Structure 1
Amino acid sequence: MSFKKLIQPLKDSLKSKGFDAPLPLQKEILSKIKGGSSLFVTAPKDSGKTTSIIISVIQKLKTPFEDAPRALIFVKDKQAALDLELEFNAFKRGTDLRVYCAYDEHNIDIQRDEIYNGVDIVIATPKRLNKIFFLNGINLNKLQMCIVEDAEFLFGNNNLAEVTRTPESIGKCQYLVFSDKFDARFERWQESFMYNAQVIKQ
């Protein structure tokens, strides 16, 4: 998939950042993601995984719509959430999409209220997302994309169980998991909510 097929605000942002053409990984996966496929994507650092997430989410959501989030991205910790939010803000100019970070070090009641006020994209640590959900602080019924960035972090601090719990609460959704390498423990997801997912390795 070439950048020519993206919405104009994305094309403008990519151009301003000096991205003239997709990287090999992006060329392989962007059209699959646009088509709605669920993917396990394993590729080394600096291959364009994070930018692929940002491009795909913005391209799919395009503009704000209602109050419930349509994309949920799980990250390792507060710093990863804030870093990804900065990247989104750099690419989403001209779309007015609302990005929100939910992490453990912030007041949960404030987070619940701010999410309730309306967001399109939630970037969250697994434990905090589930706490907010069980407080009825987030509506996942409109979710279209559920994504895990740098998924290696899942295999510590019970994060795998926390993320596995989320699909039990949502309907039909596109799942995207990005990591440096494929872990055999992901086979449990292939047997349940990601049974039709493609595995893309670079």
Structure 2
Amino acid sequence: MPFKKLHVDIKEKLESLKIVAPTPFQKKSIPIIKSGSNVYCIAPNESGKTTTLIITTLQKLKCEAVGNTPRALILVENKERALELYAEFLTYTRRNSLRVYVGYEQLHIDVQKSEIFEGIDILISTPENMYKLFLTNGASTSQLTILSIDDAEFLSQNKAYNAINSISQSIDKCQYVIYAEKMHPILERFESSFMEYSKKIMM
């Protein structure tokens, strides 16, 4: 069964990549994420979580640039994963106007601030780096519509956990999607804060 009810740009890109049908995880998760709910997406490696994250982010932003401040934020464990995910996003955004930016601790904060100021739609960052950007007025959260956390098990580290909690407190209204291989107890704690009323997809 092919992918249903996706933006035409996404469908064309999936076809060019010869991705013709959703995985069982994607079949279950994409409609729920598209509905706007907060979602825990728990599934093993190679189940299609990264592609789901990319597809649903592009779908949420309607594959077009709007304004200057980030509308999608994706938090990852480290610089290596940030750059890897950035490259994967560029595969999907080459033919549309969406602007993707990657930030990490090793890149000077003033450089990041000036580049973000020029206008972006999707920001990929580590929680600690994003918190630093927020504190220094380097990246606004006022227009965020979706915040995704990739391979969220890394939030068991105190610094990352505290950073995401602080970031979430600065966001007025936003959809949250957490991707992980297992439902770690640290992730369950978010149900009492920004993941309230969330749905769970367990594969």
TM-score, scaled to structure 1 = 0.97
Match of 2:12 in 1: 12
SS in 1 for 2:123: strand
Structure 2 unmatched runs, 5+ = none
Deviations 1:145-179 (A, max 9, x none): 01100001111252111111111101111000000
Q: Take 1:70 and 1:16, find their aligned partners in 2: how far apart are those partners?
A: 26
Instruction: Map 1:31-50 onto structure 2 (within 5 A).
Output: 31-50=31-50
Decide which moves more: 21-30 or 92-101. 92-101
1:9–1:93 Cα contact (<8 Å) kept:
no
Shift of 1:12: 1.2
Match of 1:126 in 2: 127
Structure 1 unmatched runs, 5+ = none
Match of 1:184 in 2: 185
Paired residue type of 1:119: I
1:71–1:143 Cα contact (<8 Å) kept:
yes
Match of 1:158 in 2: 159
1:13–1:93 Cα contact (<8 Å) kept:
no
Instruction: Map 1:30-69 onto structure 2 (within 5 A).
Output: 30-61=30-61, 62-69=63-70
Decide which moves more: 115-124 or 180-189. 180-189
**How many residues end up aligned between the 2 structures?**
202
Match of 2:100 in 1: 99
**How much identity, in percent, do the aligned residues show?**
41
Root-mean-square deviation over aligned CA pairs: 1.2
Q: Take 1:3 and 1:121, find their aligned partners in 2: how far apart are those partners?
A: 23
Q: Take 2:156 and 2:178, find their aligned partners in 1: how far apart are those partners?
A: 14
SS in 2 for 1:40: strand
SS in 2 for 1:21: coil
Shift of 1:94: 2.1
SS in 2 for 1:55: helix
Shift of 1:201: 0.5
Paired residue type of 1:98: R
Q: Take 1:71 and 1:116, find their aligned partners in 2: how far apart are those partners?
A: 15
